[in-house]
Structure 1
Amino acid sequence: MADLALSEEDEAMLDGADGPAAQLCLRMVVALARVRGAPRLLRVASAHVDGCLYHGQAGLDFVEWIGELGGRVAVPTTLNVGSLDLRHPGLVHADAETTANARRLMAGYTALGCTPTWTCAPYQLTHRPSFGTHVAWAESNAIVFANSVLGARTDRYGDFLDIGAAITGRAPDAGLHRDANRRATVRLDCAGLSRRLLAEDAAWGVLGHLAGRVAGSGVPVLTGVPDGVTEDRLKAFGAAAASSGGVGLFHVVGVTPEAPSLSAVATADLPVHEVAAADLRVIRDELTTARGGGIDALCLGTPHFSVTEFEQLAGLLGDGPPFHPDVRAWVTTSRAVLAEAERLGYAETARAAGARIVVDTCSYITPVLDTDVRTAMTNSGKWAWYAPGNIGVAVTLGSMAECVASARAGHLVRDEALWAS
């Protein structure tokens, strides 16, 4: 294990020069660096904190303790989803004590100087880290997007360490911060998949789920993918790969910034997994835990809905009929994206069809859905993976077009030709 070399500024912070909160937080960062065998600490340009989701008293005690010690973030810091929709009080079905503690936790993080973005997709905001920039991001889909799509560099940071990095502006020079760990470990050959299937975000979520299984915590690289893959498809892929496996970085040859060619990210003897449409159908059906064609709810926006996804949804809804009266619909997004979707008229189109728009939180973690919902349809591989265990609903996975058609009909509508191609 390499010896950890600290700068004079690091040593001074450890001695308390920047106050007790920074001293405590740097002790955590240094402890992680030594465990990871990091040779030094890096200065990070920004942080994204996941610890503002209320899981119990310990998290609340910690953030309020840091605040009492005078803690303030040293770099621009965004906040992940909380346990409440602060814009729509009462939307989350939680008891009074949980609601109060969740609100205190969210307030505790803003008191440290964090920006109250309340989104799992901070990369949809205007301030995004540039290529090669070292950051300290938590939240699995944000980590994989920053590394893969933006070409920034972050390792996986969990609760407490995320705010520790934000307050100190430091992170260990280890993991995905380092060149050697950003090389591909397995190749997924997608040349056998149709362009029509690859034009669907849901297919990218299913493909990401497969990639997570194949790669584990390694680095998959995709080949045989057409140019012009949208950020929404890459978002869906990364979120699912980070959920079914431990993927923190992926490459798509000719698409993502570090992979202009296969040789740029991989050796010639890289293991290859050939992907066929049948593989994706198997994953789609495994993620579809609902039996029969009944649908109580439609859930879109995991990770948070983007402006372009709102545009796509509005285009599918058009001047057509609203959702079936027996199907309740939720779309989760960030405050910033909602403001833009409202300005462009997309949000009103969704609401007119019967959708409820949720901000600040996520519908597969917190009790947003009505208590009598038993089956829900989604186009998100990540939502389909987590919702059955987290909130106890059965799930049907499909494309956004299938979701809209099903929600209007009141029962499952499938385009099997899509998934056979």
Structure 2
Amino acid sequence: MELTQTDSDILAGRQGRAAADALGLVLRFAEAVGAERLLPCASAHVDGCLYHGQASLDFVERFVALDGRVKVPTTLNVGSVDLIHPDLFIGDAALGAAGKRLMEAHVELGCIPSFTCAPYQTLFRPNFGDQLAWAESNAIVFANSVIGARTNRYGDFIDLACALTGRVPDYGLHRSENRRARVIVELSGFETAGPDQAGGIAVAAGLIVGKECGDTIAAITGLPASTSEDDLKALGAAAASSGSVAMFHAVGLTPEAPDLLTATGGANVPVVARLGPAEISGILARLCTVPDGTALTAVALGTPHFSLSEFDRLMPMLDLAPFAVPVYINTGRHEWQRLEADERAAKLEAAGVTVVVDTCTYVTSIIRDLSGAVMTNSGKWAYYAPGNLGIDVAFGTLADTLLSARAGRVVRA
């Protein structure tokens, strides 16, 4: 392992015991993945603030006891409770208390209390080419693909160790030669698709990329010109849910893929899937575990966390209120503060919408009634909720979900 003077100083304890212990973990991880040196990272995003048991808390409390401080701007992923609206939590009180403590302990280490799975929507969005130590699957895919920053899929514990040292192993997607597409997913027939259709197309494409490509980088061709950043967010989240995807190229849309030749580096790579309107419709239909017309007990939106532009699209649909079933929307503190400032938060509350901050409805106990089906416009939520919550789901567009909330059953726009 090639150590810099900075590495040697940290190991020798010149930046504190916490940093020295953390760098020991980073170095052992680097050896395991075959990295020969470490790189300075511009920022970190820590997923380990979601409580998975006592080990989660013990690990962080050790660094708190050693007076550890993160060395780079470090945002936090969702936790187990909504600290702003604590009354929303309806789970076991002891688990809630442990989850709250875990979130607070990370803040004591100097982490930014963002508690969002979409740190790229905050003031701490990285720049093209930045080397990062990011966890949370959808954030990793977005950073690599949509921004052109560089991070591998860092998991719990190693994410915090990188943050405490400001160092990441030089391997994988930190290196240019590993960021080229090695397979192609072709879409056709969507040239005139509008914004309302683009989201579903992106989700379906993401699910196929995850299923067919695993951790191989895909170049996706033929996405509609109306594809937005929120649609690319949904694509990456779906791909990371159904597979081990850490990066994709949307040809003509993402920064490292102005054309297919650039995305592949000129290599002759195979086409692994061809998707037209029929295939896309079939993929989205398989996300639903109930037929149209099924009674609902809730609607869940915002996985990954709702952006301000998504709230812009939602607000005119509040005219459909009153809703027959509760509507839950997950979002980050950054967005929540803006909603409060421009009085949209009050309008959402008046319409009976529950805004959830700091966490997500598929990882913690918030939705009051899970006795029936829940509808969502999130491919990630629809993919995970049946297993996580033991419920049936219906998938649809944002308009579909709000019309269904009004009707109390699954209907389509």
- Give the TM-score range, shorter chain: over 0.9
1:59 maps to which of 56, 59, 65 = 56
Q: Describe the superposition over 1:124-176 as per-residue Cα deviations: whole angstroms up to 9, x where unpaired.
A: 01221111110110000000001111110011110000010000000000111
Q: Name the structure 1 match of 2:42.
A: 45
1:150 aligns with 2:150: no
Q: Which position in structure 1 is the counterpart of 2:383?
A: 385
Structure 1 window deviating more from structure 2 (120-129 vs 185-194): it is 185-194
Shift of 1:389: 0.6
CA distance in 1, matches of 2:359, 2:98: 15
Offset of residue 7 of structure 1: 1.0
1:286 aligns to what?
A: 286
Residue 213 (structure 1) shift: 0.9
2:181 is the counterpart of 1:180: no
Is structure 2 residue 74 aligned with structure 1 residue 77?
yes
What CA deviation, in whole Å up to 9, does each residue of 1:8-32 have, x standing for no partner? 2212212222221111111111111
Determine helix, strand or coil for the equivalent of 2:154: coil
The partner residue of 1:110 within 84, 91, 107 is 107
TM-score of the pair, normalised by structure 1: 0.94
Mark the CA change 1:387 to 1:320 in structure 2 (over 3 Å): closer, same or farther. closer
**Which consecutive unaligned segments of at least 5 residues does structure 2 have?**
none
Q: Distance in 2 between matches of 1:366 and 1:262?
A: 41
1:345 shift after superposition:
4.0
Query: Aligned residue for 1:26?
Result: 23
Aligned residues: 409
State the shift of 1:189 in Å.
1.2
Residue 304 of structure 1 pairs with residue 300 of structure 2: no
- Match in the other structure for 2:338: 340
- Deviations 1:89-137 (Å, cap 9, x if unpaired)? 1211122211211111111100000010010000001221111110110
Counterpart code for 1:67: V
Deviation at 1:34?
A: 0.8
Whole-angstrom CA distance in 2 between matches of 1:304 and 1:81: 10
CA distance in 1, matches of 2:278, 2:361: 30
SS of the equivalent of 2:36 reads coil
Which runs of structure 1 show a deviation greater than 4 angstroms over 4 or more consecutive aligned residues?
A: none
8 A Cα contact 1:200 1:399, kept in partner: no
Find 1:396's aligned residue among 394, 402, 410: 394
Contact 2:190 2:224 in 1 (8 A): no
* 1:375 paired residue number: 373
**Partner amino acid for 1:334?**
G
Distance 1:392 1:206, change over 3 A: same
CA offset at residue 195 of structure 1?
3.2
Q: Which moved more, 1:363-372 or 1:66-75?
A: 363-372
Are 1:138 and 1:162, in contact at CA under 8 Å, matched by a contact in 2? yes
- Compute the displacement of 1:371 (Å): 4.1
Paired AA for residue 189 in structure 2: G
Asked if structure 2 preserves the Cα contact closer than 8 Å seen for 1:48 and 1:80, the reply is yes
Aligned to 1:330, what secondary structure does the other structure show?
strand
2:220 and 2:13 map into 1 onto residues whose CA distance is 47
Give me the whole-angstrom Cα distance separating, in 1, the residues matched to 2:289 and 2:204.
14
Q: What is the CA distance between 1:342 and its match in structure 2? A: 3.1
Residue 193 (1) aligns with residue 194 (2):
no
In structure 1, the residue matched to 2:237 is 239
Per the TM alignment, residue 347 of structure 1 is displaced from its structure 2 partner at its CA by 3.1
Compare 244-253 and 365-374 and name the one that shifted more. 365-374
- Match for residue 418 of structure 1? none
**CA positional deviation for 1:346:** 3.5
Aligned to 1:269: 268
Distance 2:370 2:66 in 1: 45
SS in 2 for 1:370: coil
User: Aligned-pair distance for 1:268?
Assistant: 4.6
Distance 2:109 2:345 in 1: 32
Q: Is the 8 A contact 2:198 2:227 kept in 1?
A: no
| 1:365 shift after superposition | 0.6
CA distance in 2, matches of 1:237, 1:369: 25
Gaps of 5+ in 1: 416-421
Classify 1:202/1:191 alpha carbon distance in 2 versus 1 (closer, same or farther; 3 Å).
closer
Paired with 2:121 and 2:375, the residues of 1 have a C-alpha distance of 24
Following superposition, the deviation at residue 348 of structure 1 comes to: 3.3
Superposed displacement of residue 227, structure 1: 3.5
Q: Distance in 2 between matches of 1:344 and 1:264?
A: 43
**Structure-2 separation of matches of 1:40 and 1:88:** 44
Q: For the structure 1 residues 38 and 28, does the alpha-carbon distance in structure 2 shift closer, same or farther, using more than 3 Å as the test? A: same
Query: 1:224 Cα shift?
Result: 1.8
**Distance change (3 Å), C-alpha of 1:366 and 1:141:** same
Paired-residue identity, %: 50
Task: Supply the distance in 1 between the matched residues of 2:323 and 2:311 (Cα, whole angstroms).
Answer: 16
CA distance in 1, matches of 2:238, 2:320: 31
Q: Is the 8 A contact 2:82 2:359 kept in 1?
A: yes
Structure 1 residue matching 2:215: 3-state secondary structure: coil
For the aligned residue pairs, the C-alpha RMSD in angstroms reads 1.5
Shift of 1:356: 0.6
Kept in 2, the 8 Å contact 1:47–1:75? The answer is yes
* SS of 1:11 mapped into structure 2: helix
Residue 269 of structure 2 aligns to which amino acid in structure 1? L
Q: Distance in 1 between matches of 2:349 and 2:212?
A: 39
1:162 and 1:240 map into 2 onto residues whose CA distance is 22
In the alignment, which residue of structure 2 is the partner of 1:410? Answer: 408
Contact 1:240 1:382 in 2 (8 A): yes
Q: Does 1:364 align with 2:365?
A: no
Is 1:87 matched with 2:84? yes
Q: Is the alpha carbon distance of 1:405 and 1:228 closer, same or farther for their aligned partners in structure 2, counting shifts above 3 Å?
A: closer
Distance 2:203 2:348 in 1: 23
Give the counterpart letter for 1:144 in structure 2. V
Q: Is 1:259 aligned to 2:257, yes or no? A: yes
Change beyond 3 A, Cα 1:396–1:228: closer
CA distance in 2, matches of 1:352, 1:37: 55
